[in-house]
A and B are shown apart, each in its own frame.
Chain A
Amino acid sequence: MKQSQGSSTALGLLSQYDRGPFFCELTSPRPDGTADLAAILTRLNSLDQDSLRRRTALADKEMFDLGITFTVYSDKDAIDRILPFDVLPRVITAGEWTRLEAGIIQRVTTINLFLDDLYHDQRILADKVIPADLVLGNANYHEFMRGLKVPCGTYSHVCGIDLIRDQAGEFRVLEDNARTPSGVSYVVENRNLMLQSFPDLMDGAKVRPVDNYGLMLRQALVDIAPQGVDDPTVVLLSPGIYNSAFFEHVFLAREMGVPLVEGRDLVVENDRVYMLTTAGRAPVHCIYRRIDDAFLDPEVFRPDSMLGVPGLMGAYKKGNVAVANAPGTGVADDKAVYAYMPRMVKYYLGEEAILPNVETFICREAEALQYTMDNLDKLVVKPVGESGGYGMIIGPKATRTELDEFRAKLKADPDNYISQPMIGLSVCPTLTDGGVEPRHVDLRPFAVTGAKTAVLSGGLSRVALKKGSIVVNSSQGGGSKDTWVLE
């Protein structure tokens, strides 16, 4: 493959491209040796940069017009932003995907088994595979879920597994998102955009479709419907139009063909849930909720929540309504629990983890804390409860003062932190102002579980658009790419 790349890229789009010391998702030889991306590379290389740039601008405008946006709130304004779309795709070969898919299913299965165990017998705590106080003291552990039988034993119906690829080309799990992971709408809309604005890029490439997600999700929700309900009414529960991910809620409701409801549209009577319609009350059987646990039901969680439905958890406990994801899944995707995941795979399935973790030091453990303190300038340190890339420090890129300040924070509250070596994230050719340059990417595939787990053949590839940056979050200058899983 190296040879074919050499000859085909001599003059084209990728001729100036230099991936540096990193693994490149398009141009590096695959470690498994099976892939051949020569045809795709030749095609990409033949494209005209100015034309791509023009069409990217049009595609951005179209996303804005269509409201494929997330909302950023400042003190007085609400600004709709698009997730910038980079036209050059990220490609996953069939062989890579087979392994990824198996690894994701293994991981999600483990997460669900762990939650089922935790909310029933707690064998794993008795066997001391994971420290009891780590989970029982976790704010996302809900005692009221204890002993509750959930349909199909599934807790995390929609799970997003964040993966990165290191310099050797090895995929590693960076984070599990077992609560209400977002981003799947971009997977599908990016593909729509690609097909609409850049059909020449995809011409002849055998890429697996992603537009079946709505049906996958709907099927999972039907799987978990209360017993005896043949044709369940499914709804998507959203916090409403002011939520920054509202577009995704619209997208999912549309793709599933179900009503998008807010808490105020639902009432509970005699432990049954109804929605208010023009014809009166109509029963609701399955709820895909995009509201955090804390706001679900003011009678159980935060009493000041205006977004939730009083009595919802009562109906849930009676088995009259299914809720996905189940309350209390947050205990499984905590960054500290994450570190134990390979041991949990072994414990529940008797298998080695197919997808390795990133090496993780749990700062609540004295030895790990000492190591982290001593090597702060070489490590990435993250608070366990935060998401969105906030509150973390990237040691090798921090100033002396920043390191000293962080060391003090870490010392004051070590339980709140984990640390990891800095991984040289893989890159992908990306259209920048300075031409086609390498930018770091990650990957979030989505797994949907009802009676069984299915993984959408694609994923959200987020790209850090700033040169050298490894922070891919949309709130911090990240964009996204279409992700091609090849046949």
Chain B
Amino acid sequence: MSELLARNADSIIWLARYMERIENLARILGVAETFARDRSGANWLPVVQINADGERFFARHRIADAQTVPHFYILDPENPTSIISSVRAARENARSLRPLISIEMWRQINRMSSWMTGLSANAVSPGNLSALCTEIKEACQLHVGITEGTFYRDQAHYFYHLGKNLERADQTTRLLDIKYHTLLPRPEDVGSPLDISHWNALLKAAAGYQASRRVLAGSITPKSVAAFLLFSDSFPRSVILCVRQMDWLLTQLRSRYNLRGGGEALELLDELRAVLSDRNIDDVINAGLHEFIDWIQKQLMLIFAELREAFCPSR
């Protein structure tokens, strides 16, 4: 069978998005102790801000601290952006895809879901949080590895990677958007140990610490970090790399499988790619980083909507 059901294409995109989202969130929570600290001390608020969850969070909790935020984002089944909610959604999608994905992919997601469902509140206490986040992250990476090694390379595979890169680009822009503003130092703090550790935490949250050390060497500045996350040719989570991947994947899909749809999405992707290739970081910061990121996110949303309209129509 070579056809791919429209509903399955939708599910596979979502499966990839959820798994990518879980990994990113686990990474952010794993470095949150450093990451979330602002100049006045420990503050878990930025984690809530990155996910734009302020309203829902404060409807459930009075303060954002080391108890409430990890619970809200990892174990709270009532919170649709929690890891457990994403895991369940990923499993639900994987379940509907069982005839399509490898048995090993399904088995691992199923196991991850039952493992996480069985966690107690104690698992997210300050002493256990970091280890838990590492385990969650590794479960996601196991998924990635099993997928690489077992998932048959047909249409579904391309849709999977479209979803994954879309989510990745989105996550990187969110991270940068919030942190760039909260982290912009006052003149007297520039180069201080606290300042440096903030940027390091941001890079760790984006899984870019090691790579950025090699590339940026000593010059860890707001500008160099922003440039790295947006424009690096080689960092797997940079926005431009994700967009290039999507462009390639969609082109392949259309030519290899004779899919007529997706023209509008391709045009949007080309435009986004062109802008990311042409701009340098000084242009971006002068014109406003937030505005630029906002525009990227809107483009990504449009691309997603076009993809679904073109390939995942429902009755």
Contact = CB atoms under 8 A, between A and B. Distances in A.
A binds B: yes
Contact of B3 (A67, A267, A277): A277
Interface in B201-248: none
Interface residues of B, number: 30
Interface string A234-274: 00000011000010001001100111111011110000000
Most chain A CB atoms below 10 A, which of B3, B98, B99, B159: B99
B103 A276 contact: no
Contacts of A275: 3, 5
B315 interface: yes
Most chain A CB atoms below 10 A, which of B92, B96, B98, B258: B98
A230 interface: no
A253 B5 contact: no
Contact of B258 (A259, A267, A279): A279
Interface in A179-237: 233
A278 B261 CA distance: 8
A276 B5 contact: yes
B1 A257 contact: yes
Contacts of B3: 259, 275, 277-279, 282
Contact of A66 (B9, B107, B257, B314): B107
A106 to B, nearest CB: 35
Interface in B76-121: 92, 95-96, 98-99, 103, 106-107, 110-111, 114
A265 B314 CA distance: 7
Nearest to B93: A241
A250 B101 CA distance: 11
A340 interface: no
A285 B289 CA distance: 55
Contacts of A280: 260
A50 interface: no
A347 interface: no
Interface in A108-133: none
B305 interface: no
Given A264-B315, A278-B6, A280-B260, A259 B110 contact: no
Contacts of B159: 278
Contacts of B4: 277-279
Nearest to A266: B315
Contacts of B315: 264-267, 276
A260 B99 contact: yes
Interface string A262-304: 1011110000000111111010000000000000000000000
B85 to A, nearest CB: 15
Given A275-B3, A276-B5, A241 B260 contact: no
Contact of A240 (B96, B106, B257, B312): B96
B257 A278 contact: yes
Contacts of A250: 98-99
A253 B99 contact: yes
A64 interface: yes
A65 B110 contact: yes
A278 B155 contact: yes
Interface string B1-13: 1011111010000
B57 interface: no
Contacts of B110: 65-67
B256 to A, nearest CB: 11
A64 B114 contact: yes
Contact of A259 (B1, B257, B311): B1
Interface in B291-315: 311-315
B7 A276 contact: yes
Contacts of B9: 278
B183 interface: no
A262 B111 CA distance: 26
B259 A67 contact: no
Contacts of A257: 1
A240 B96 CA distance: 7
Contacts of B107: 65-67
A67 B1 contact: no
A254 B9 CA distance: 17
A240 B155 CA distance: 22
A265 B99 contact: no
A38 to B, nearest CB: 38
6 contacts: A65-B114, A259-B1, A260-B99, A265-B7, A276-B6, A278-B5
Interface of B: 1, 3-7, 9, 92, 95-96, 98-99, 103, 106-107, 110-111, 114, 155, 159, 257-261, 311-315
8 nearest A-B residue pairs (beta carbon): A253-B99, A250-B98, A278-B311, A277-B3, A276-B6, A260-B99, A278-B4, A241-B95
